[in-house]
Structure 1
Amino acid sequence: MSRPTKIATALVAIALIYPAATWFSGQRIQAVLDEHYADMKSHPSLKVSERTYERGVFSSTEKVSFEMAMPVAAEDGTVQAGEPLRMTISSRIQHGPVPGFETLAAAMLDSEVVLEGEVGAALRKSLGGKAPLVARTVVKFDGGGHSAMTSPAFELAVPDGTGQALRIGFSGLKADIDFSAGMRSYTMKGTADGLSMEDPDMLIELSGLVFDADQHRLFDDEAWLYAGKQRATVASMKAEAKEEGELGDTRFELELLSYDIDMPGKGEYLDIKALMGTEVLRVADVDYGPAHYDFSIRHLHGRTLMDLYRKLLEISGDPAQLAQQTEDPAALFAPLAGPAMTLLAHDPEFSIDRISFTSPHGTAALSAEVSLKGVQPDELSNPLMLLAKLRASADLSVPQGLLLAFASNEAEDPEEADFAAAQLQQQLELLEAQGYLQRQGDQVKTSAAFSQGQLTVNGRPFNPLAMGGR
């Protein structure tokens, strides 16, 4: 057989085999998507309202509509049922093994998101008919893959239900996600140049957002609980009240913000360690940076945590329950009490690892730990039994000059300010004499602990009612 004949025979074989291969790939990608939307059924607030799938030999199309309850504030201050947030994802799916003749994979999806309703119409007008979010996703033969998402810049006015409008400006977003089969694990990296939100009272501007994540499911059968790491940084953020608004002269700026979350999984339990900080924290004309807020929560029972999360999302999406909470804020906690108490029975520990900020008078810092050990199921409804098993401790260090500044801050004239400062000075001297605090240089330091129903301050039993007579 001559070389041209061999080539022609190979091409004919490929031409005959390729449709069967693409048909098989079409079946495979449809099964992958079916599994994904089966997981969506367990989401507590985002519901799939409609899904259509039309499969061909070389390509398919899919259209999926989602719906989420959106309560709104009425003019009288009550919370009422608003129009649900509705969005549709339309995808053109090119089957493998060489989708679009661009890569070797099971499929390649080109998707776009469209928001419905009044907000969606305004967004489409702002974007000149373009989709607010588009994505190209390449799905490998094992069900994993890569997705590249982009969002264009837009400006939008969103009515808030009170006759006012929230104006949103967005400079666009780029994100890349690598995922394993069934989204059992994923990594993500993304950037957004800027975001602004403006209402009649306040203007908020954010710039230079960078985010990434590396996460995996804690349980194979729980689609919405992930362990791993998340990080975000923001170059700058500022909020400024408008002169004609109701918030006075409120104004603050933050620069070089960072947000790090590490959530390692340990069997059925999850730990959370959060580090939040900003190099600049300017309130009015005073800079309190660097400022930090770091906290840890250890030994959280994963499945109970998801029960609590689902209940919270159920409440936030139910206008009737939100309306009830407007009249009685305590009503919020009633439906959460069951899973919250069960969570306590697993001996979680909470600690404020660091709260600190720098003032013109020096650095203020606080750390604290709280835990409940050995709580039994029959003790969960007994506050006195829980109090007996509560363990807590805290350490505080504050510049004396900052305390004096706060004490005289509300004074109407210098004479009143001097009087307030003198009173505070006397109180500090009394507490120091009683052993409840120490003054080291310009810092006022104290510690507190609560154990077995007893409160101590600086290691001394503390009774607030008897404090003045010591």
Structure 2
Amino acid sequence: MNESLYEVAFSGQIQEGAELDAVKARIAKIFKANEATIAKLFSGKRIVIKKNLSAEAADKYSIAFTNAGAICDLALIPADTAPPAPADDRAAPKAPSSASAAPADRNASSNQGFRKTAAISGIGVVVVAALVAATPYVTGMLAEQKYQDGMLIFQDFAMQQSGAFTVKSDVDYQRGWLSSTVVNTITLEVPERDPVILELNSNISHGPLLLSGPNTFGLAAIETKMPLSAAQKADMARIWKGNENPIQVQSHIDFDGKTLTEVTIAGFTLDNIDNDPASKLNFKPMSTTVTLSEHFTRADADMAWNGMQLDTVDAKVVVGKLTGHSEKHLSTEGLWLGDDDFNLSNVSVNVSGSLAGSSGQTLSSSRIEELGIIAHSEVDSSGLVNGHATITVKDVVVENKSVASDFKLTFAMERLQAKALQAITQKMSEHQQRAIQSGNPGQTPDLALVQNEVAAILAAGPVFKITTLQATTEHGKVEADLEATIKVDDLVTLQNPLFLMMAMQAAGNVNVPARLIENTPLAAFAPGFIDQGYIKSEQGQLKTSIKFRQGQLTLNGKTLQQ
């Protein structure tokens, strides 16, 4: 009997949750393919990669595509076989016709049919029962494979991101029928330092129906605990009084390989901090949920913290509720980009009179209401990073008096070369590793180390913008905007501060209440600037437009004289 042969084909399909650019990069690396080949593979047409492969060889190709985040097609090549020999009609018994069959024969046939139906139904019930019984074991096998693969990807990912240390994971996986146990020993090896060893004990419940964990259906639900020493247990008992499991870690492996991890920290009250009877910390519950794609190329996170209150003999600090949401993906350049959204309900600081002092240099009461931060970053088709962020504050109160409300700041960074940014990150990581090895971890890096990367960023003409800066004060509104850019085409300009300044361009507008600067150093210069036409004074507001080109500053259309 001839061995079955297969062909491997690809039509550009990728796994759900995988990033197209990241998949292309991994396939190019695995198969050492150039850009033209990658473009052909992802053209949407069915491309035959290899023919006449054994099952084992075809599986290797399939695994390679799967690890890259892609989906390939394995097709069995039909074998050339002779047509089957015709059946011998003389040997075949003739079935009686319905016209000639006797009633007894028909009854026997009916009973025989019933017995066959019952037998088939019984076999079906047994098969279904066997499948139901075997399903947890099968999902357990798949969950183990996903877990093991995930640890390998985690090690590689951690080493790429850190640079200063290596990560090793030793997994002892004991698979059962309905559940499994895992002891995962993670070792962080730092040069010239003793390794840091963390042991994680996990209990894994097999799917598809999950009675524990964040979701009801999936491959597996994982509950993880870290063994503690007697001293650590005593410390936790002192902090979380009566709560034996204050930090809970639960995970969920989905059918598509995504991993969801949920971490919750119970609230606690800590008295007599640093042996100070007046000190007290009230920490409220915190929870974080992180979802990682199969190949760690996408991360979604949600966090919620109900805040805290710290009382000391000198001050009282209150932090309100903090919530956040993040959606990030790993670009082909190795940068985490995407969206972030954070909100803080309030934060206040009250200082006692003894600490504030009679000079009034220290504010005795201050509060920020409703702080929000929204940010977005992406890489365009030219390989340039563009990002923007908005910061808002509903009210800033000092000494029970509003000093600024409806504050809004929107700024952006555009045209930053992605490859250069990643190269700077990598070189800084390598510098940190060398500094640790030399015994001087605080060593300041030489800027010449990233000179070429900085030059590449400046050559692309990066742009900085403040599109909105506004606030309402007791004296009136503050409004401003700014756009600045710099373009440097050679290292000589980069090394000369004068040439660098000449390469900068900026333009903006400022509008502030005149009374806002009364008690500042600017108050002495304002009348002269108004007389010379650099600043306009209208209805209690000071306004001017700003331009900076070729080293020359212009205010309100008039060149500033040195």
TM-score by length of 1: 0.75
CA RMSD of aligned residues (A): 4.1
> What CA distance in whole angstroms lies between the structure 2 residues aligned with 1:133 and 1:386?
53
> What CA distance in whole angstroms lies between the structure 1 residues aligned with 2:217 and 2:452?
50
User: Which whole-Å deviations, capped at 9, do the CAs of 1:238-288 have from their partners, x for residues lacking one?
Assistant: 123344547733532011111111113213222121100111111233311
Q: 1:124–1:131: 8 Å Cα contact kept in structure 2?
A: no
Q: 1:49–1:66: 8 Å Cα contact kept in structure 2?
A: yes
> What CA distance in whole angstroms lies between the structure 2 residues aligned with 1:168 and 1:321?
36
1:181 is matched with 294
1:299 is matched with 415
Q: 1:133–1:151: 8 Å Cα contact kept in structure 2?
A: yes
Q: Does 1:358 align with 2:472?
A: yes
- Correspondence for 1:92 among 203, 208, 213: 203
User: Matched residue of 1:234: which SS?
Assistant: strand
> What CA distance in whole angstroms lies between the structure 2 residues aligned with 1:445 and 1:191?
42
2:95 is matched with none
> What CA distance in whole angstroms lies between the structure 1 residues aligned with 2:131 and 2:514?
86
Shift of 1:438: 0.3
The change in CA–CA distance for 1:184 and 1:106 in structure 2 (over 3 A counts) is: same
> What CA distance in whole angstroms lies between the structure 1 residues aligned with 2:240 and 2:346?
26
| 1:234-253 equivalence runs, <5 A | 234-245=344-355, 248-253=362-367
1:152 is matched with 266
Q: 2:343–2:372: 8 Å Cα contact kept in structure 1?
A: yes
User: Which whole-Å deviations, capped at 9, do the CAs of 1:155-177 have from their partners, x for residues lacking one?
Assistant: 569999xx9xx986431122333
Q: Does 1:11 align with 2:122?
A: no
User: Matched residue of 2:140: which SS?
Assistant: helix
Count of matched residue pairs = 425
Q: Does 1:269 align with 2:384?
A: yes
The change in CA–CA distance for 1:313 and 1:231 in structure 2 (over 3 A counts) is: farther
Q: 2:329–2:338: 8 Å Cα contact kept in structure 1?
A: yes
- Correspondence for 1:190 among 303, 319, 337: 303
Q: Does 1:254 align with 2:352?
A: no
Larger radius of gyration: 2
1:382 is matched with 496
1:428 is matched with 526
Q: 2:363–2:398: 8 Å Cα contact kept in structure 1?
A: no
Bigger strand share: 1
User: Matched residue of 2:306: which SS?
Assistant: strand
Q: Does 1:170 align with 2:283?
A: yes
> What CA distance in whole angstroms lies between the structure 2 residues aligned with 1:316 and 1:249?
39
> What CA distance in whole angstroms lies between the structure 1 residues aligned with 2:195 and 2:517?
48
Code of the residue aligned with 1:291 in structure 2: it is F
- Correspondence for 2:554 among 456, 461, 467: 456
The change in CA–CA distance for 1:124 and 1:274 in structure 2 (over 3 A counts) is: farther
Q: 1:22–1:97: 8 Å Cα contact kept in structure 2?
A: no
Code of the residue aligned with 2:320 in structure 1: it is S
Shift of 1:323: 5.2
> What CA distance in whole angstroms lies between the structure 1 residues aligned with 2:233 and 2:545?
54
Tell me whether 33-42 or 370-379 shows the greater mean CA deviation.
370-379
2:48 is matched with none
The change in CA–CA distance for 1:62 and 1:393 in structure 2 (over 3 A counts) is: farther
Code of the residue aligned with 1:269 in structure 2: it is L
1:437 is matched with 535
Q: 2:264–2:285: 8 Å Cα contact kept in structure 1?
A: yes
Code of the residue aligned with 1:299 in structure 2: it is R
2:84 is matched with none
| 1:17-166 equivalence runs, <5 A | 19=137, 22-44=140-162, 47=165, 51-58=169-176, 59-65=180-186, 89-96=200-207, 103-112=216-225, 122-123=235-236, 125-128=238-241, 130=244, 133-155=247-269
> What CA distance in whole angstroms lies between the structure 2 residues aligned with 1:121 and 1:346?
57
Code of the residue aligned with 1:60 in structure 2: it is T
> What CA distance in whole angstroms lies between the structure 2 residues aligned with 1:316 and 1:445?
47
Question: Could you list the runs of 5+ residues in structure 2 that have no partner in the other structure?
Answer: 1-117
User: Which whole-Å deviations, capped at 9, do the CAs of 1:188-222 have from their partners, x for residues lacking one?
Assistant: 33321113456786543211212112222222x72
Question: Could you list the runs of 5+ residues in structure 1 that have no partner in the other structure?
Answer: 70-80, 326-330, 408-419, 465-470
Q: 1:26–1:96: 8 Å Cα contact kept in structure 2?
A: no
User: Which whole-Å deviations, capped at 9, do the CAs of 1:77-122 have from their partners, x for residues lacking one?
Assistant: xxxx999998654433334555669854333221246799999974
Shift of 1:335: 6.1
The change in CA–CA distance for 1:207 and 1:348 in structure 2 (over 3 A counts) is: same
2:33 is matched with none
Tell me whether 371-380 or 45-54 shows the greater mean CA deviation.
45-54
User: Matched residue of 2:150: which SS?
Assistant: helix
TM-score by length of 2: 0.64
> What CA distance in whole angstroms lies between the structure 1 residues aligned with 2:452 and 2:138?
54
The change in CA–CA distance for 1:323 and 1:374 in structure 2 (over 3 A counts) is: closer
Tell me whether 197-206 or 362-371 shows the greater mean CA deviation.
197-206
> What CA distance in whole angstroms lies between the structure 2 residues aligned with 1:115 and 1:45?
29
Q: 2:282–2:309: 8 Å Cα contact kept in structure 1?
A: yes
User: Matched residue of 2:295: which SS?
Assistant: helix
Code of the residue aligned with 1:233 in structure 2: it is N
Code of the residue aligned with 2:396 in structure 1: it is L
| 1:191-340 equivalence runs, <5 A | 191-196=304-309, 203-219=316-332, 222=334, 225-245=335-355, 248-267=362-381, 268-287=383-402, 288-309=404-425, 339-340=453-454
Tell me whether 273-282 or 147-156 shows the greater mean CA deviation.
147-156
Shift of 1:152: 1.0
> What CA distance in whole angstroms lies between the structure 2 residues aligned with 1:45 and 1:241?
43
Q: 1:242–1:248: 8 Å Cα contact kept in structure 2?
A: no
Tell me whether 148-157 or 333-342 shows the greater mean CA deviation.
333-342
